């Protein structure tokens, strides 16, 4: 009994941390559920007066917001699938094949992982200009994939190295080749890891801001983060609308996170990819 009681201060501390983490979200939600008023409400509203969803409806319908949502959904999905395919194939070569210079090429991958994304922005933009791919999804996707491949190759290689080799040897005895091992054995065995990395890659692309802001010019092609920024510019004091739009934008990631929280937290702890 004494032991249990002695934990009370710890729970008070935890509750304080949780409160600080949650208040901004609660404030956002309460504001999104409050009809427009042109001056800041006083006192600030932390509990909405009624269940009002007008802002959500308006945000969804206003300014092509649903279009941007769809854009982000598609861009992130395509990028994720290709990143996972390309990375897992490369990771397989690094983990299971012998070839001269393997270490050197692998170190190149490691080196590119250290290059901060932002520092390459200008030459990437110029390259896209040369290729006439500015303002196209192809250009945007190529950069997202190029950036996503090294780290995912690295982590998948580490995962593949930990897989037992016995099953693969059986395939080789049956006269199978590397493609069969990769496709029939390694990929199915790696489903949990692939899933985790895919989710991380997806949320990275979903939230990506600067590259999309630089590459995409046509309003119709915008992805959600840029749309949100411009949305805020257009609706300066209409915070209810802005936060309704924001909540719609974070919803997919929140849902994935809460459903998959165990795996994701571990995945995030491994490499901090979610740190953005």
Q: Which of 182, 190, 202, 244 binds another protein (CB under 8 A)?
A: 182
Is residue 5 at the binding interface for another protein, with CB under 8 A as the rule? no
Is residue 77 at the binding interface for another protein, with CB under 8 A as the rule? no
Q: Which of 33, 79, 84, 93 binds another protein (CB under 8 A)?
A: 93
Our CB check for another protein shows the closer of 54 and 268 to be: 268
Burial class (CB in 10 A: 0-12, 13-18, 19+), 55: buried
Q: Cα(72)–Cα(270) distance, rounded to whole angstroms?
A: 26
Q: Cα(125)–Cα(139) distance, rounded to whole angstroms?
A: 9
Task: Report in angstroms how near the CB of residue 272 gets to another protein at its nearest.
Answer: 6
Burial class (CB in 10 A: 0-12, 13-18, 19+), 24: exposed
For the segment 20-39, give every residue that binds another protein (CB under 8 A).
Answer: 20-25, 27-28, 31, 39
Task: Report in angstroms how near the CB of residue 78 gets to another protein at its nearest.
Answer: 14
Part of the chain binding another protein (CB under 8 A), chosen from 56-64, 146-154, 158-166, 167-175: 146-154
Our CB check for another protein shows the closer of 28 and 198 to be: 28
Task: Report in angstroms how near the CB of residue 146 gets to another protein at its nearest.
Answer: 3
For the segment 253-272, give every residue that binds another protein (CB under 8 A).
Answer: 253-254, 257-258, 261, 264-265, 268-269, 272
For the segment 107-126, give every residue that binds another protein (CB under 8 A).
Answer: 108-109, 112, 114-124, 126
Is residue 138 at the binding interface for another protein, with CB under 8 A as the rule? no
The tokens of 37 are what?
């008023």
Is residue 60 at the binding interface for another protein, with CB under 8 A as the rule? no
Our CB check for another protein shows the closer of 114 and 173 to be: 114
Where do we find the tokens 């999905």? 77
Q: Please, what is the angle between helix 54-61 and helix 65-96, to 10°?
A: 70
Is residue 225 at the binding interface for another protein, with CB under 8 A as the rule? yes
Is residue 62 at the binding interface for another protein, with CB under 8 A as the rule? no
CB count, 10 Å around CB of 205? 25
Is residue 202 at the binding interface for another protein, with CB under 8 A as the rule? no
Q: Cα(238)–Cα(6) distance, rounded to whole angstroms?
A: 47
CB count, 10 Å around CB of 93? 18
Is residue 132 at the binding interface for another protein, with CB under 8 A as the rule? no
Is residue 17 at the binding interface for another protein, with CB under 8 A as the rule? yes
Part of the chain binding another protein (CB under 8 A), chosen from 50-58, 73-81, 106-114, 166-174: 106-114
């Amino acid at each position: 009994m004494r032991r249990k009681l002695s934990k009370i201060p710890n729970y008070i501390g935890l509750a304080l941390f949780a409160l600080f983490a949650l208040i901004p979200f609660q404030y956002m939600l309460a504001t999104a559920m409050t009809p427009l008023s042109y001056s800041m409400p006083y006192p600030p509203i932390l509990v909405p007066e009624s269940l009002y969803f007008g802002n959500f409806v308006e945000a969804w319908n206003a300014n092509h917001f649903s279009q941007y949502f769809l854009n982000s959904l598609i861009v992130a999905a395509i990028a994720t699938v290709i990143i996972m395919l390309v990375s897992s194939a490369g990771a397989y070569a690094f983990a299971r094949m012998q070839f001269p210079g393997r270490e050197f090429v692998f170190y190149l991958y490691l080196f590119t992982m250290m290059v901060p994304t932002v520092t390459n922005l200008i030459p990437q933009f110029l390259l896209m200009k040369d290729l006439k791919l500015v303002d196209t999804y192809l250009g945007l996707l190529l950069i997202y994939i190029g950036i996503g491949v090294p780290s995912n190759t690295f982590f998948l290689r580490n995962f593949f190295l930990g897989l037992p080799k016995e099953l693969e040897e059986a395939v080789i005895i049956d006269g199978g080749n590397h493609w069969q091992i990769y496709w029939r054995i390694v990929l199915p065995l790696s489903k949990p890891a692939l899933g985790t990395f895919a989710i991380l890659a997806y949320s990275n692309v979903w939230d990506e801001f600067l590259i999309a802001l630089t590459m995409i010019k046509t309003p119709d092609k915008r992805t959600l983060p840029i749309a949100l920024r411009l949305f805020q510019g257009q609706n300066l004091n209409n915070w209810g609308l802005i936060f309704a739009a924001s909540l719609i934008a974070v919803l997919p990631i929140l849902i994935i996170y809460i459903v998959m929280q165990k795996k994701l937290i571990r995945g995030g702890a491994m490499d901090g990819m979610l740190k953005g």
